Amino acid sequence: MSLEVIVSKIRICTLCELHKSRTLAVPGEGSLNANVIFVGEGPGATEDIQGKPFVGSSGKYLDKLLDLISLNRKDVFIVNIVKCRPPDNRAPYLDERNACLPYLKEQIRIINPYIICTLGKTALETLTGITSISKVHGKLINIDNVELFPLYHPAAALYNPNLRSILESDMYKLKNILKSYKKNNQLLKDETTLDSFFHN
Ligand code: URA
């Protein structure tokens, strides 16, 4: 499957209840050659109207965080666990996350990044089962040979100034990790690696 086919499927998806209240589905966007994929929770009000990920206030902050480490959103890939906005910005329910997950898996398979950066608790828990972000943020986690780098959600840092400096210093750690991957010409993951990761 190509990214375009996934996008067209997502735009007309009716696999969970969230499709009933959406304006536009938000498939995700960025570079096909991205070394890093950022995974948020789900679209908010602005994303629902524009059909693009992280274009509201947390998106503006994410742009600043990328800029801090000399990245641009065109260099990375940005997606969400669920592609349609949960009403009142509630966290997506488990059945909604499960219904949407095959799209994300396919996107990760195609882009095949060095690192998956989860943004916030929902993405971390959905992809790893880890429930405590405070214990693992800013640390590289290897699950079945897939590298994950958990970050706090930009929205959480906007509301809590104490988290802002933590998130920003975690971004610098990410910069160094990406630099060392490039230097060592780290190989991308093969199909079987991703299979065992997704199996969990
Ligand atoms: N929060 C998210 O998790 N994703 C978005 O796209 C916007 C806000």
Residue 14 is classified by DSSP as -
Give the residue, out of 10, 47, 104, with the most ligand 1 atoms within 8 A of its beta carbon, to mutate for a pocket test. 47
40 CA closest ligand 1 atom index = 3
Confidence of residue 111 (pLDDT cuts 50, 70, 90): very high
Residue 37 is classified by DSSP as E
Position 187 pLDDT exceeds 90: no
Per-chain mean pLDDT for the chain: 95
Residues 6+ apart with CB under 8 A from 120: 40, 41, 133, 151, 152, 153, 155, 156
**Cβ–Cβ < 8 Å for 77, 37:** yes
Tokens of 166: 């933590």
Confidence of residue 1 (pLDDT cuts 50, 70, 90): confident
**What's the pLDDT at 183?**
76
Confidence of residue 184 (pLDDT cuts 50, 70, 90): confident
What is the Cα–Cα distance from 107 to 9, expressed in whole angstroms? 12
| 185 Cα–ligand 1 center, Å | 31
Greater model confidence, 8 or 184: 8
| 52 Cα–ligand 1 center, Å | 9
| 55 Cα–ligand 1 center, Å | 8
The reply to whether ligand 1 has any atom less than 6 angstroms from the CB of 44 is yes
Position 45 pLDDT exceeds 90: yes
**Closest residue (by CA) to atom 7 of ligand 1?**
54
User: What confidence tens digit (pLDDT) does each residue in 6-34 have?
Assistant: 999 999 999 999 999 999 999 999 999 99
Confidence of residue 142 (pLDDT cuts 50, 70, 90): very high
**What's the pLDDT at 103?**
98
Average pLDDT over residues 178-192: 76
